[in-house]
Amino acid sequence: MTWWLYVALLCVPLLAVYLHIPPPQLSPAVNSWRTSGHFFTFRGNNIFYKESFGVVGSSDVLLLLHGFPTSSYDWYKIWDSLTQRFNRVIALDFLGFGFSHKPRPHRYSIFEQASVVEALVAHLGLSEQRINILSHDYGDTVALELLYRSDHNRSGHITINSLCLSNGGIFPETHYPRFLQKVLKDSGFISPVFTRLINFHSNYLLYFTQIRDVFGPYTQPTEAEFWDMWTGIRFNDGNLVMDSILQYINQRLKHRERWVGTLTSTSTPLHMIYGPLDPVNPHPEFIQLYQKLVQRSTVSVLDEHVSHYPQLEDPTGFFNAYLSFINSF
């Protein structure tokens, strides 16, 4: 047998792995979250959302916006508590995340995600309702685009009653992306190849290391919780769109004046819940800049051991901080 035939035989299984790797199985908890949710269509793509009706007699609506690279499931630890305060609690998976469609090739953008949110609000018949927004990480930037549209009375905009941000890299100058984010964001033609190789067998440990580093040493997720995050990413081959979605980091820099400008000029009630051990938005650099630029906002700094995912690391502290804010006006 000639050498090239040996090479060809070797390449067959490698090519099979490159082209398709079955996603890992969902845990019962994550599958329950999925089956209790719904879908609506945005420009031909199915968008997942979950909605609960809570307090009777209240008209307060809360919209939850998740971060990168996870999903609406990030809110599960405080979901029941929130339904005891609000009449309706709504969370979605952004396009390209969680159980929503993950089209490729596709030019993902913060602007489009804001339009997804507006379409969801219209779909639910809430266009005339004042909406409270609670966001995290990537969701913070989507929330700022929604705030810009609301403040400038753009067509189809959401009327925002209040906005609470948490641990989002809203200032490019104080944002330090993780290694994997930088590789996928800036590696050009290499990125699509690399995303194909992100699967449980070869790169789960790389993912595990990257996500572990943004949790505090005393607030680490369990192995089952790590697995739940991972399955949400891999669902519908989500790893294949991560490089496209990560262009949001460049968009934050390009549109800093638009998004930071609206944050500093808005009259909407604002709050920031901050996990101070966050290596992505480090203390005190991030929070000092926030307090300097956004003087109308109130701030809750959580326990010193809480890092980038405060709603998962300290759900009680996070919920109490948010409750204090929402009850203050």
Is residue 265 classed as helix, strand or coil in its secondary structure?
A: helix
Q: Are 203 and 240 in contact (CB under 8 A)?
A: no
Structure tokens given for 162: 């209040």
Instruction: Tell me the mean pLDDT per 10 residues along the chain, length 329.
Output: 48 47 87 98 98 88 97 98 97 98 96 98 97 98 98 94 98 89 64 56 66 96 94 91 93 98 98 98 98 97 98 98 96
Do β-strands 270-274 and 130-135 pair in parallel, antiparallel, or remain unpaired?
A: unpaired
Is residue 95 classed as helix, strand or coil in its secondary structure?
A: coil
282: CB partners within 8 A, 6+ apart: 174, 176
Domain borders along the chain are: 26-327
Residue of 33, 169, 149 whose CA lies nearest to 91: 33
Q: How far apart are CA 227 and CA 3, in angstroms?
A: 41
| Arch. (CATH architecture) of 26-327 | 3-Layer(aba) Sandwich (3.40)
> SS3 helix, strand, coil % of the chain, rounded to 5?
50, 15, 40
Structure tokens given for 69: 């690279």
